[in-house]
Amino acid sequence: LHSIDDLESIEVDAIIQKIPELLNCQLSSDDDCTKRFDAFLRVNPNVICIDPPNNVRLLLWRHEQFLLIEKAMKSSDLADRICVPPFCTLDLKDPAINVKRMHAASLKFPLICKPLSSHGDERAHSALVCMPLRSYNESVKSFNLTFVFQMALLFNKEGLEQISYPTLVQQFWNHDGALFKVAVIGDKTFVVMRPSIKNLEMADNRKPLFFNSHTASKFNRDGPLGDLKNDKDLDRFQTFCDGPLFVKVAALLRQTFGIDLFGFDVIRLTKGESSVERTGPEWAIVDLNYFPSYDKIPHFYHHLENLVREKLSLPLLPDPPSEDC
């Protein structure tokens, strides 16, 4: 479906939603489309929604999102294994206040600046998928929304003069240019390795490096961000992939946010850089997104259908052979 109004004319048992207006932080609460969708769910409490709008909204702002992740990790038995890099929000271009906030958050250069919104405002299209009991609607394949994340790497205090405010600044930890992207579909967890930002260090005379987050996950040995050339360069990191840990983290995040379709990015910290990294957790969560593309996930539609079947208390389809990291 492509309109909220269409819901009134059909029999609906379950909805898989990825509504751009809901993911737009500026529109999420006030937009007419989201209001009508919220109203539909209120007057149809028996309709299963994957995922509930109020739960999805918990992910929209990075600061609040990181606070929830940080709290969940610290209160779990995973606290000594995985964490969230230190962060803080800088509201205005005020050097004195910003330096004080960064010091209070134990931030040191280099830093990575991220938009306050965790989901961009540029989107390809809107889609609703309704799942009657009697059929599985393959139009779910139309889900492919593009988000644009503009970020920056700061190497010194002077860089704070060249960025836009407000912004979230987070500690950049070296991780040898390898990123573990974890995709979650209900209780199913999948890991895909991608290149990331190469190891960096503080530099007094280096200007900020502005980039799109999509660029950071592409191979580019000669570029300013990464030094991995191809998949073979990532092979040496496969042995570090901690599948059991990622499954536990996925379950904890699923419980914390009350959602079933999401992805999170994990890095493995380079050893020997600071006292924090030597004595603290080996892993860090650096991003969390609602309903990622799933383009590299095997049998995605099979697992999505089983998620809906589980929600509707229907028999599950047999799982295909697993593909562990």
Residue-wise pLDDT tens digits, 241-254: 899 999 999 999 99
Q: What percent of the chain has pLDDT over 90?
A: 57
Annotated binding site: 62, 114, 125, 170-181, 196, 265, 287, 289, 293
Binding-site residue ranges for Mg(2+): 265, 287, 289
Q: Report pLDDT for 155.
A: 94
Q: How far is CA 321 from CA 31, 124, 244, 324, in A?
A: 43, 33, 18, 10
Q: Indicate the annotated binding residues for ATP.
A: 62, 114, 170-181, 196
Residue 237 pLDDT grade (very low, low, confident, very high; cuts 50, 70, 90)? confident
Task: List binding-site positions for 1D-myo-inositol 1,3,4-trisphosphate.
Answer: 125, 181, 289, 293
Over range 61-72, report the average pLDDT. 97
| Sign for the pseudo-dihedral over CA of 248, 252, 253, 255 | positive
pLDDT of 30 over the 70 cut: no
Q: What's residue 131's pLDDT?
A: 38
Supply the pLDDT for residue 8: 76
Mean pLDDT of 118-135: 45
* pLDDT classification of 19: cutoffs 50, 70, 90: confident
* Sequence ranges of the domains in the chain: 4-311
What band does 107 get if pLDDT is binned at 50, 70 and 90? very high
**267 and 196 Cβ atoms separated by less than 8 Å:** yes
CA distance 83 to 266: 10
What's the CA gap between 261 and 253, in Å, rounded? 11
Q: Which two tokens stand for residue 202?
A: 């503080």
Which tokens hold the place of 321? 């052979």
pLDDT for residue 36: 86
Give the C-alpha separation, 65 to 23, whole Å.
Answer: 14
Higher pLDDT, 27 or 67: 67
- Please choose, from the candidates 86, 15, 76, 8, the residue with its C-alpha nearest in 3D space to the C-alpha of residue 46: 15
pLDDT at 229: 57
User: Looking at the domain that runs over 4-311, which CATH code has it been given?
Assistant: 3.30.470.20
Query: Which pLDDT score is estimated for 213?
Result: 76
Cα separation, 149 vs 144, in Å, equals 16
Average pLDDT, the chain: 83
